[in-house]
Each structure stands twice: as C-alpha cells, then as structure tokens.
Amino acid sequence: MIINKAVAINPIEPSPLSFRAPMGMEIKLNVVFYSQNGAPYSSDLAAQLQLTGRTSARTSSYFMPATDIVNGKARATIPADALNDSNGYRLRIVGTLNGEPALLALGSVMPIASAGFEAVPEDIIDTVDIVLTRGRIAEIGVKLWDDEDKTNPYELDTTTISSNVYASRGGVVLAPFVVTPVSPNEVVLTLTIEEVDALPATCWWTLVASNANGAHTLCEGTITVKDAPVG
C-alpha cells in the first residue's frame, strides 16, 4: 500500500504527521518535504522513520532515501509484518538539517485490520562503496540499468548524470566527479589527484540521474580514502 504525505521543514518545531495503515501489508510511505516558503526542500535530509510501539515500547527504524531530491521526495518502506501493535505507534522522522540532527515530523500510526491496495515495486537505490588511494587519479566506471536484473540498459541520451562527494550522508559537497559518458549506458567518474588527496578518510557519494521527470538517486555509498602503499 502507498501512503503519500507532506512535511513542512520547521527548525523550531516538528511537522505533524499521522496515518492509518492496514496490518499484514507492506507500506510505502512517500513524503514530500517543503521549505517554509512552500517550495520543495531540494536537499537530501538523510531522513529516517522511527516507529515506537505503544504496547511493546520497542522502536523500529527505517531509512528514507531521497527518490527525487530536486522535488523534495523521499520514501520509507515498512515491511508487511512490522505493524502488529494493536495500540498503534508513536511516529518520528529525524534527519540532518543545516548540518545538524533534527526532528522533522512527529505523530502516530494506527494499524487497522483491513485489506489494502497491492504494493508496487519500490524505486531501487543501489549501495556501492568505493575505495580511493591518495596520490592517484580516481577513475570509476559505472554501468546503468533500468531494471534490477540488469537486462534493460539505462537511456542516457535524454538524461543528465551527476555525481558528488559529500562530507557525510546528507552533508556538504566536498567535490564533484567529472562525469564522462563512454557508451549508451555507461559513464566514467573522475577526480584529480589533488581532489582525492583533499578528501577525508571517510566520506559519502551519490550518483543522480536528471531528466524531464525530475532527479533520481541511482546509487550511493561510502568512500574510503587510503594512503598509497610505501615502496
């Protein structure tokens, strides 16, 4: 079942967010984050959904990866067997706002014993961790596919691919990769030696596809920067 909600980013107090959801069904919670001026909040908040059972007092956390950064969209997936507390759950959405931890939304979830709509496949964001070496140019080849089985090549002729290195997930940009298409569905990401040497030992990266339908994160992960071996 898909549930769509809106959250207004307020640095003073969290936005109210509550909903009902059927038991025994996977829930996809789509959230659009808005700035105080009503425009979509166009930065990745590294959001996380937290549900605390009123009976069990146990808290379950679910990542909310950005599905369309420019338009402020993110999604959390709640497994089919997760909502089993008949007394409901306290809801929190936390994230990173202006480089600081923030409580973005507060409310409740009430499970109901009812059938719902069939869930649809979730957008896939691959996790790809990278290791770079100081004193060496970074050259990373990335092949892009439209399906999980990697049988349908991603069409790059109508899509712009961008990739950045961040201080942390949801943090500030440290360096942009130079993105060079080398085939209909493959790009090479490049950083100079100076850019690699300036990176901290651990940071974060994302690869985003932008077209007429918006911007979508295709993959992301941790970057580990190691010193070159001696000798």
Q: Which of the four pLDDT bands, split at 50, 70 and 90, describes residue 61? A: very high
Of 37-41, 119-123, 165-169, 225-229, minimum mean pLDDT range: 119-123
Q: Which of the four pLDDT bands, split at 50, 70 and 90, describes residue 211? A: confident
The owner of tokens 């808005």 is 34
Q: Is the pLDDT of residue 122 over 70?
A: no
Q: Please name the fold of domain 2-112.
A: Immunoglobulin-like (2.60.40)
Do the two domains 2-112 and 126-226 of this chain adopt the same fold?
yes
What is the arithmetic mean of pLDDT over 99-119? 79
Q: Where are the domains of the chain?
A: 2-112, 126-226
Architecture of domain 126-226 in this structure:
Sandwich (2.60)
Q: What percent of the chain has pLDDT over 90?
A: 56
**Which CA distances in Å does 217 have to 1, 84, 144, 205?**
22, 32, 12, 11
